[in-house]
Amino acid sequence: MTLRVEGLSVRFHLPGAVVHAVTDAAFELREGRCLALVGESGCGKSVMAHALLGLLPGNAVVTGHAWLGSLDLVAAPERVLAGQVRGRRVGLIPQSPAAHLTPVRTARAQLAETLRELGGGQSPDALARRAGLRPDDLDRYPHQLSGGMAQRVANALALAGDPPLVIADEPTTGLDRPLVESTMAELRRLCDEGRAVLIITHDLRAAEQVADDVAVMYAGRVVELAEARTFFARPRHPYAQGLLDALPSRAFTPIPGDPPELTCLPDGCAFLPRCSRATSRCEELPPLNGVACHHA
């Protein structure tokens, strides 16, 4: 099932300020493809994911469209999101999975409950095995699970309803390299089985391993959208180039400056104050034709 995001924006209304968390995002994610959504902390990645699942708090206003097949996730009422979308059509592997498990219940109890809610015929053990857990791991409480096991339980929970779209929010944070590798390999497998997979990460190395496509976000906007192979060989947006140059395996040069406040964004390119190629043209908003930059 294809996800088509069109003109998606999210505003948080606070007393005296509006946070422009996501602005005019657009991308397509087809089945069997893996899209990595990358960008610095606070650029709107998790908010975008939560908008797709109707999980934002009451002060959020979401506009635009997110078509999953013929259903617009933005317009869908909570009843539909709860009954048909979350867990069934879209599985979320949350940021810091251990924090999302109930501390007083075993992994098996939580899997069993989710399976019951979804009404599927699978057993917790079968599901756990598919996620790389042994059945006796399921008798553990969350505090008895290692980071890697908690990650696998979270994966199993997200996949319990066999959703065609899986969103993984920072699936590798806090994991050591071997676990990063195996988590990424698992996500790739989900994709190769025909699901659409959206991986949110600021780990560009991990993204390079598994993604078919890359979307770079900056200050709430998608500023570059490209096939992963092309992107990692030749990033076009100065910000994307900066992200790659900051990697230890590359130049190890951080991008100077900080991202702008999302409560007072400029009319033009939000990267202007940090960009070495900026000219007066950048005061005009560059359109996204693969890359949102007047100089790329």
Ligand X SMILES: Nc1ncnc2c1ncn2[C@@H]1O[C@H](COP(=O)(O)OP(=O)(O)OP(=O)(O)O)[C@@H](O)[C@H]1O
- Binding region for Ni ion (CB under 5 A): 46
Q: Which residue is nearest to Ni ion (CB)?
A: 46
Question: Which tokens is 205 given?
Answer: 């190395």
- Rounded least distance, CB 60 to ligand X, Å: 6
100 binds ligand X (CB under 6 A): no
| DSSP conformation letters of 222-290 | EEEEEEHHHHHH---SHHHHHHHHTSTTTT--PPSS-PPPTTS--SS-TTGGG-TT--GGGGSPPP-BS
Q: Residue from 1, 3, 5, 21 that binds ligand X (CB under 6 A)? A: 21
Location of structure tokens 């390299």: 177
Q: Residue from 2, 6, 12, 181 that binds ligand X (CB under 6 A)? A: 12
15 binds ligand X (CB under 6 A): no
- Rounded least distance, CB 54 to ligand X, Å: 14
Q: What are the φ/ψ torsions at residue 260 (nearest 5 degrees)?
A: -75, 160
- Rounded least distance, CB 41 to Ni ion, Å: 7
Q: Residue from 26, 42, 209, 268 that binds ligand X (CB under 6 A)? A: 42
Number of residues engaging ligand X in binding (CB under 6 A): 15
Partner touching 94 among Ni ion, ligand X, none, CB below 5 to 8 Å by kind: none
41 binds ligand X (CB under 6 A): yes
Q: Residue from 45, 88, 195, 221 that binds ligand X (CB under 6 A)? A: 45
Q: CA torsion 239→240→241→242, rounded to 10°?
A: 50
Which residues pair with residue 66 across a beta bridge? 5
155 binds ligand X (CB under 6 A): no
Residues numbered 192-221 forming contacts with ligand X, rule: CB under 6 A: 202
With contacts defined by CB under 6 A, name the span among 41-49, 62-70, 79-87, 269-277 that binds ligand X: 41-49
Q: Between residues 41 and 70, which has the closer beta carbon with respect to ligand X? A: 41
Number of Cβ atoms within 10 Å of the Cβ of 117: 13
CA 194 to chain centre: 18
213-218/34-38 β-pairing: parallel
With contacts defined by CB under 6 A, name the span among 36-44, 141-149, 238-246, 286-294 that binds ligand X: 36-44
Q: How far is CA 216 from CA 77, 174, 196, 244, 292, in A?
A: 29, 22, 18, 11, 10
19 binds ligand X (CB under 6 A): yes
Partner touching 19 among ligand X, Ni ion, none, CB below 5 to 8 Å by kind: ligand X
Partner touching 278 among Ni ion, ligand X, none, CB below 5 to 8 Å by kind: none
222 vs 95: CA distance, rounded Å: 21
Q: How far is CA 129 from CA 153, 187, 196, 253, in A?
A: 10, 15, 22, 42
State the distance between the two ends of the chain, measured CA to CA, in whole angstroms: 33
- Rounded least distance, CB 47 to ligand X, Å: 3
Partner touching 17 among ligand X, Ni ion, none, CB below 5 to 8 Å by kind: none
